Every structure is written in structure tokens, then in C-alpha cells.
Structure 1
Amino acid sequence: MIDAFGSEHAVAQPAATAAFANAVHALASHRPHACAHLEDALQVAPTLTAAHALSGMAGVLLAGRASLDEAATRLQRARLSIDRNDGATAFERALVNALDNAVAGRLRAAADVLDDFLYREPNAFLAAKLSHALRFMTGDVDGMVSLTARLSSECERSNAGYGYLLGCHAFGLEEIGRLNEAERVGRAALEIAPDDAWGLHAVAHVFETRNQVAEGSGWLEAHRGVWTRCNNLSRHFSWHLALFALGRGDHESVLDIYDREVAGDLDGDFRDFANAASMLWRLRQAGIDPGETRWAALSEVAERHARNTTLVFGQLHFLLALIGAGRLDEAADLADFIHESGRSTTDQANVSRNVGAELASALVQAERGAGLQAPVGFLARRLHRLGGSHAQRDVFLQALARMAQEAGDAVGLRQVLAVRRRHKADDRPVTEWLARSN
């Protein structure tokens, strides 16, 4: 049985596949309750393989050690369901094989499995959305765009996921600098799927990259009815609003948005924490003291969760919070942990070896006044390996630029700014900081 999103299931129970399609829609539109829909599907059909596998993928995407353990359990249940169904569809096999790789820490290999399947079946939207998410987490923007460029022409327009697929394509286009095309495709995605938060997000990134602060704020306010209905992605949209406020020098609005919409319960998804930590750090770099209380609250969360996050990108944001709170010994311990994490054979271990460990050490040493002990230009050129977006990683580019400036390393500063200017012209926070530093 094939559902509206092109997912083919071995179990032919309409109520179960309808519930599964509801979960895919929630995932596509970044709405809450995707997991609840999956449980509804499994209540009807306990051997619905894709429901077990997608639940496992959700655990992988949360990037926590506990959620990864749960993903491994879901993987075993998916395998058992295949046995009980006396086989699986090609879609289900691809999903389970991808989950197998992802649980083992091979996120890019997981995305490759999904992409290979999509060459045979371009209408399987869920496989495309998951591949996009995995490549986003691992910094493979070229892989993101090459997939969605092909599928945007091969996927049937009648597929329920087509508009959301365009939203994914728009985001990748923005990340490779094709801004006009990204804006056009993102707007087209919203015309087809008005609740496409990712397409909406892609256009917000276009405005951020162009330094169109007023246009970006207006875009988000005009679509507040869409993004406030999202899952925790709504906090990230609020982060973007705060970023636009920072771009116009309205620091009071930044802190107001931070307190009301960003810094709520940060014990869950590491992305929520990253929003908060990076915003306070940006204020700090702009010469604005956000107050000891805010930093202390973040550092307490960091103390609880820094070592439970599986992505170096997330660990580095916990590190920022510890440094911002003045807990430098703990920050140094976390930097050592990131270094030790590079000894394994996972994708993230490779990230640690190539950029994460050295960046973590540089951030701690700079705060201790030890001088510049890192090749800032080299690190700047490798930051994309952390995953996330250019806008998110900009907090680290600014930190590297500051290190070079304070060390009197004019060559290093030029190198870092050259990397930044490939994706974003100098904006108000950076120009003001450079002016104060000269």
C-alpha cells in the first residue's frame, strides 16, 4: 500500500498507513506530535516497519545518547517486523538500512542509502526529507542540493510532499549562495504547501544572508501564524527574529525575544540550547553584557547535557555557555572530552579530529588570555564540517575573527573574514566591532 507521500508499506491496513502519513506530514511541516501519530499507526498495525524505523530516525535526529539508545531499540523492532511480515518493500528496506547506519554513527552513509533508493523511486518524499536532514547535520550542503535539484524535477507534483521538497531545495540553494533562486523556490514551496516551515525558514535565511534586516523581520512577522504552530523549530524562528533585531542594533529587543521566546526549557533538544547560547555569545561579542543570571542558567544546562549530545556542533555550543559563565575549568574539561571523542570511527569523531577539538581548545585558550594558538584561517575554512547553517556557524567565525584581531594577526583576520564574506557581507555587529577594535 502506498500512502499520499509515496511511502510503500508491506502491511495493507488503511488506518495504519493514514496515521503514518499524518506523521510524515508533521515531520514535513515541523509540527509536533509526529511520534504520537507513529504510535497511533503501530496501535493499528504493530508490524508497520516504516513506523518503527521512522521513530528510530527521530531518535537519531535528536542527537542525544539516550535517544540514540532508543533508536537502536526501534531498529531491532523494525527488523523483527520485516521477519513477521515475511519481507518488506524497497522503501522499508531502505529506511531500515539507513537507520542501521545512522545508529552506528554513519550519518552520511545513511543518507547515501536513502539517495540510492530515491534514484529508483523519486516519489518517496520521506526518504528525501530524512536524507536532507542527515546531510544538514553533517554539513554536506552539496549533497543536499544535488538530491533536491534532481527530485524537484522527477517527483510528481501530485505527491503530498512536493511543496515540502521545494522547501528543502530552497534551503540548500541558500546555503550555496544562490540567493535569488532560493527565494523564488522558497516562495513557490509556500504557495503549494502553506504550512511549509522549512521553505519559510529558507527565505528567512536569504534575508539574513543579504543583511535585509527590515525585510527579514517583516517576513517572519507576516508568517507568524505558520511558525508559531511548529515544534521546537518555533524557537529557532524566534532566534532569527532576535538576529534581525541584533542586525539593526536593537539590543533591548534581542534580550526581550531571548527571554520570552528562546530561553524556555532548554533541557530537551540541543538545538534549542544552541539558539540561546549563540545569541548570548553574539551579544557578548558586540560588547553587550547579557547579565550573569542568563549565562548561569545556560551553564547549568550545559553541565547536565554537554556530554550527552552526539554532535560536535552541539557540544561546542555547550562550551560557549560554560565560557560565558566563567566556568573555564569545566570548559577545558569539555574541550578535552571533544578531543577524546575523536578517537572513535564515527562521522562525528572525524568532525572532532578535523575541526571540533582544535576549535574548542582555541575558544578556551583565548578566554584564558593564552594568546592565539590556533590557525584561525584553517579552522574557518573547515567550519562547514560541523553541520548546521552558515547563519548558525557564524558565531564561531566571529569568535575566530576576534581571536585574530586581539592577537594582532592581520593575515588570520583577513582569512577568517574572507570565509565569512563568501556567504555574508559585513553586517552591523561585525562592522561596529571592527570599528571599536581599530
Structure 2
Amino acid sequence: MRRDAYGLVTSTNSDEAQRAFETAVFGLAAHRPTAGAAIQSALKADPNHVAGHVLKGFANLILARSELDVPAAAALGDARAALAIKGGGSGDERILVKALEFAARGAFHQAADLLDHGFEDSPTPFLPFKISQALRFMLGDAAGMLDASTRAVDRLTFESPAAGFVLGCHAFSLEEHGRYGEALTIGQRAVALQPDDSWGLHAVSHVFEMRGDTLEGIDWLERGRKSWSRCNNFSFHMAWHLALLHLERGDHGRVLQIYDDEVRPQQTDDFRDMANAISLLWRMQQSGVHVGDRWSDVADIAYRRRSDTTLIFAALHNLAAMIAVGEQEGAAELVAQIEAKALGTDDQARVAAEIGIPMARILAGLDRSADRRMLERMVTNLPRIGGSNAQRDFFVLALAKAVGTGGDRAGVTRIGQIRQRLKAQDRLFRSIEHSVSIRLSA
């Protein structure tokens, strides 16, 4: 048994596999495009590298695409076989495999709980902590993220190569709770300690965005460009934040340029890339920006994925894209798929039942209005969709737009009051309020 640089005890006997796996963990932490190749190198050097198979499995699941359930299950099978060959492996490896078992059957909460609490009798390795935060991020579990990151920081050894990355995760957890001053301080410290910590850089950009500090946010992202531009498709998401800040300043030409060059430079079907593109296009349209034919590629991909409800967050973005181009048949099919998903028993089935169905029906125009109790419940349940407060703000805005279209000024006002608990008033929400006033006075 040996402990790697990031604190994980593994059963590998290969120095080459150990080095490659540490490179993969760094790549995961820094959102580098080399992480996948590093995992493969580790498995080539040691075909029975348990943690390598586990990380491969989680990498497939976190992409939230139904067709990747098969390779994720195969990675789980390989991890189990590797454990047997290694005589049961290390305790750390057994916890990782068990967590992957939970996640593979849709129980992300159980997987994250095991990753958070399974290592309490020893120094917490970085990899389980990072995977847990990724799972809780997809679940919208801000409380779980903050609990885990607080424990990790309390036990942190600042000589560890993971120290900056842990602080970056903690900064993001604080930001999601509206604790912006703390998040700013810790996020800046994380980036100073680990310049490759794009997640910490990202957390700080959230603070500026949610506070409405647009100039500070633009300056922060531009100064950090050297780091985040080296990322994998996470760089598209960082550019999305930059575009939102320019949109708030009314610089529509710059927003279109960022969209074309940095948010949507490739027509990928990764749900995170799609969410960036769809939510930004929607905001631009609501802001009076002519987006040309930019909806076409995302709407085509959304149509092809109209039966995929692996992640309700992704499905609702796909629904919005189809609605934007008038693809009513595809939208109706996806709404029906979300309703069918709600009959299941896994984590995402509960998300579908609690918020996916009502939000889908309002987005699709099937339920034009909602009573006050339903509005309160929808906004309260919205975090269950997953993602960040900044990402979910798209759904808050879309809900306000739908309610306003129905002439419910009080409903729009109430949504705005709830929204202001986390995000400063901005020009897009004010324009929605203004459009309701014009409609009612006409």
C-alpha cells in the first residue's frame, strides 16, 4: 500500500501508474484537458489500478448522458475485478468502489455521503472530496458542499499540493450560500496559493457577478485568462461568465464576439456547453440582441437528445432550446419524458417530480400561470435542479418572464424579492418587470 501526493492510499506497485494517476488528479482539479489521457496512462502501466477505473467511471457519469451509462458500468466492473486481484485493495479503494456503485445506480447523494464521511478516521484524500463536490454540484446540494469543504479546510495541511484546490472549492461553497465576503477572501487566497486553481478563480467571478460588480468581475476574469484559457471545456463556462458581465453593461457586440469565439467555438453536445450557450442566447434575445441563426446548432442537438432525462438540469435547457426555435413536437416529447422520469425512484426522478415537471410545463407554455403557493414552491425547489445559483438564474428569469406574460405583476415582484437574496438587481430582470407594466397599462 502507498499514499499518493494527494493523500489517497492505493494498492498499485507501479511507480509509473502512480505518477500518471497523480497527473490525472491534478488535471481533474485544474480542469485540464489532459486528465483523460493521464487516466489511460495509469491504467496502461497498471491495468488493475483500482482508483483509475473508479475515476474513469465517475468521469462518464458526471457527463450525464444516457449512452455513457454502459462505459460507466464497465468501469465499475473493472474496478471490482481489480479489487479482487489486489486482494481487496486498500480501504480507500474499497470506499471509492462502493461510492461508484451508488452513483452508477443514480444514488448520487449516497455516493457523496460515503465519499465525505468514509475517510473521517484518516487525513481526507483530495480525490474523494473533489468527486463529492462535483456530485453535490449536480444535485444543487449547497449545504452538503459547504459541510464537506469546511471539514476539509479544518483538516488541511497547507504543504499539500491540493491545498489551493481545497480552498477554491470552499470559496465556491461559501459563495453559493451568499457569504460573499468570505468567498472573495478565500477564493483569492486559493488562486494566490495555486495559480492553476480555475475553480477558485471561478468562485471569485461568481461573487462579482452576484454582487453586480461588473467591472471588477471583467477585470478579474481577464487577469486570470492565462489560467482558465488552458482548461478543458470549462474555459467555455468561464467565457460564459465574462459574457454575462458584458451583457449587464450593455456591450452587446462584445457579448456576441465572446459567444462565437469562446462560449460556443465548437458545436459540442456536452450538457455544460449546451447550458452555457442556451442560457446566454436566451438572455441576449430578452435583452434585444439579434442573435441570427445561432439557435440552430443547439436546437438541433437538443432535439436529438429529447428523450434523455439523465439530468433534469440538462433536459430543461434542451427544452428551452427547442421552444426558442418553435420545435413544439420535440418539446412536447421531452416534457412527456420528464413526466415519465418522475415515476422512477432515483435522485433525478425526485428532481423531475419536485421541480422538473412544473418548470418544464411553464417553459413549454402548457401552464401559463401559477398561483402564489406554486411560485413559492418552485423557487424554493429550484436548487434541486443542480448547478450554481448563477446557472439556475436562467430558470428564475424564464419563470418571471412566463409569469409576466400571464399578466401577474405581483408574481414577478415576488420572484424578484426572492432573487435579490442572492443576486443584485440587474437590467434584464428590470426589463421583464417593465414589460409587465407596459402590458397591463395597454
TM superposition score category, shorter chain reference: over 0.9
8 A Cα contact 1:267 1:305, kept in partner: no
- Checking the alignment, whether the CA contact within 8 Å between 2:65 and 2:310 is kept in structure 1 is yes
Q: How many angstroms apart in 1 are the aligned matches of 2:419 and 2:332?
A: 27
Return closer, same or farther for 1:115/1:371 CA change in 2, 3 Å cut-off. Answer: closer
Asked if the contact 2:269/2:301 (under 8 Å) is kept, the reply is no
- Which one-letter code corresponds to 1:81 in the other structure? A
**Structure 2 residue identity aligned to 1:214:** L
Report the counterpart of residue 42 of structure 2 in structure 1: 41
* Greater Cα offset, 398-407 or 40-49: 398-407
| Aligned counterpart, 2:18 | 17
Alignment of 1:307-386 (within 5 A): 307-308=307-308, 310-365=310-365, 371-373=368-370, 375-386=374-385
| Matching residue's letter, 1:155 | L
Q: Distance in 2 between matches of 1:371 and 1:87?
A: 56
Structure 1 pair 413–436 and aligned structure 2 pair: CA distance change class (3 A): closer
Q: What do the CA deviations read for 1:255-290 (whole angstroms, capped 9, x no partner)?
A: 111111112333342100110000011122223332
The residue number in structure 1 matching 2:219 is 218
Q: How much has 1:249 moved relative to structure 2? A: 1.0
| Local SS of the residue matching 2:274 | helix
Instruction: Output the CA distance in 2 between the equivalents of 1:44 and 1:253.
Output: 47
How high is the TM-score relative to the length of structure 2?
0.95
Distance 2:358 2:309 in 1: 18
**Where does the alignment leave 5 or more consecutive residues of structure 1 unmatched?**
none
Shift of 1:159: 1.7
Are 2:193 and 1:192 aligned? yes
* Distance (Å, rounded) in 1 between the aligned partners of 2:313 and 2:90: 35
> What SS does structure 2 have at the residue aligned with 1:63?
coil
C-alpha contact 1:286 1:433 (8 A) present in aligned 2: no
Contact 2:153 2:166 in 1 (8 A): yes
Cα deviation digits, residues 94-146 of structure 1 (max 9, x gap): 11111000010000110011011232233300010011110000010000001
CA deviation profile, 1:64-96 (whole Å, cap 9, x unmatched): 112221111000000000111111111111111
Paired position in structure 2 for 1:272:
273
Q: Hey, what's the Cα distance between the residues in 1 that align with 2:317 and 2:303?
A: 12
Shift of 1:196: 0.2
Give the whole-Å Cα distance in 2 for the aligned partners of 1:381 and 1:309: 22
> Which amino acid letter does the alignment assign opposite residue 404 of structure 2?
Q
- Once the two structures are superposed, what CA deviation does each residue of 1:147-199 show, in whole Å capped at 9, x if it has no partner? 11111011222222111011000001000000010011101111111100000
Q: Give the Cα separation in 1 of the matches to 2:214 and 2:427.
A: 10
Name the CA distance, whole Å, in 1 between partners of 2:338 and 2:435.
33
Aligned length: 434
Q: Which residue of 2 aligns with 1:183?
A: 184
**Contact 1:207–1:215 (CA under 8 A) maintained in structure 2:** yes
Indicate the residue corresponding to 2:252 in structure 1: 251
Structure 1 residue 309, shift from structure 2 partner? 5.3
Q: Once superposed, which parts of structure 1, at least 4 consecutive aligned residues long, lie more than 4 Å away?
A: none
Rate the CA distance shift 1:429–1:170 in 2: closer, same or farther, 3 A.
Answer: same
CA contact (8 A) 2:309 2:341 kept: no
Checking the alignment, whether the CA contact within 8 Å between 1:249 and 1:429 is kept in structure 2 is: no
User: In the aligned structure 2, how far is the partner of 1:256 from the partner of 1:239?
Assistant: 11
Structure 2: runs of 5+ lacking an equivalent: 438-442
C-alpha spacing 1:180/1:407, structure 2 compared with 1 (3 Å): same
Answer yes or no: is 1:164 the counterpart of 2:171.
no
Q: Report the counterpart of residue 284 of structure 2 in structure 1.
A: 283
**Corresponding residue number in structure 2 for 1:90:** 91
Q: How far has the Cα of 1:335 moved from its partner?
A: 1.0
Hey, what's the Cα distance between the residues in 2 that align with 1:66 and 1:73?
A: 12
| Aligned residue identity for 2:250 | G
Q: Kindly indicate whether the alpha-carbon contact (under 8 Å) linking 2:25 and 2:127 is maintained by their aligned counterparts in 1.
A: yes
The whole-number CA distance in structure 2 between the counterparts of 1:133 and 1:122 is 20
Say whether the 8 Å CA contact 2:6–2:127 is kept in structure 1: yes
Match of 1:408 in 2: 407
Name the % identity: 42
2:341 counterpart letter in structure 1: S
TM-score scaled by length of structure 1: 0.96
- Partner Cα distance (1:408, 1:38) in 2: 54
> Alpha-carbon deviation of 1:415?
2.5
- Inter-partner Cα distance in structure 1 for 2:43 and 2:16: 10
* Offset from partner CA, 1:339-378 (integer Å, 9 cap, x none): 1111111100000000001100111116xxx631563332
1:409: how far off?
Answer: 1.9
Where does residue 146 of structure 2 map in the other structure?
145
C-alpha distance in structure 1 between counterparts of 2:208 and 2:295, whole Å: 29
Partner Cα separation in structure 2 for residue 202 and residue 309 of structure 1: 28
CA RMSD of aligned residues (A): 1.4
Q: Provide Cα deviations, 1:384-421, integer angstroms capped at 9, x if missing partner.
A: 00010111011110111112222222332233112211
CA contact (8 A) 2:92 2:119 kept: no
In structure 1, the residue matched to 2:71 is 70
Query: In 1, are the aligned partners of 2:412 and 2:433 still within 8 Å (CA)?
Result: no
Cα distance in 1, alignment partners of residues 217 and 253 from structure 2: 18
Partner SS state of residue 155, structure 1: coil
